[in-house]
Amino acid sequence: MGSQILYLHHLHNHLLTYQVKFIIFVKKDIMSHIYPQDFKYGVINTVDLANVDFNETIYPTSPTSLRYSLDGSQFLIKWEEGHQPEFINNGTVVPASILSWADCNELMQTPAWSEPVPPIEE
């Protein structure tokens, strides 16, 4: 009976350790995708769309969800900093630019990417 209690105590401690490691892993994985500053943003020419591998870890994960410039000549993808997509690394796709979040946000406010907001008439 004593050895069974000792075994159960050991098993309980092992499971707690596993749970803590799992929670830390999950939290780290989730946390890495919360802040837009943790990403790099690629402006890609639309003619290169067929060469973008959406099976890699990029966002959006589908060509139907892309954000295009107003003239349709470019679109935007993002990836976690330090995990640049292989299709960019190997030169299959050469981005028009690779931006930080702040630079991308600024670009999205330009007339090439956003319709002007009409003034509110009172």
Q: What is the pLDDT of residues 6-18, one digit of tens each?
A: 444 454 454 444 4
Asked if pLDDT for residue 45 goes beyond 50, the answer is yes
Helix ranges (H only) for 1-122 are 2-31, 86-89, 101-108
Return the pLDDT at 2.
52
d(CA 94, CA 74): 12
Mean pLDDT across the stretch 80-84?
92
Is residue 36 very low, low, confident or very high in pLDDT (cuts 50, 70, 90)? confident
pTM, two decimal places: 0.68
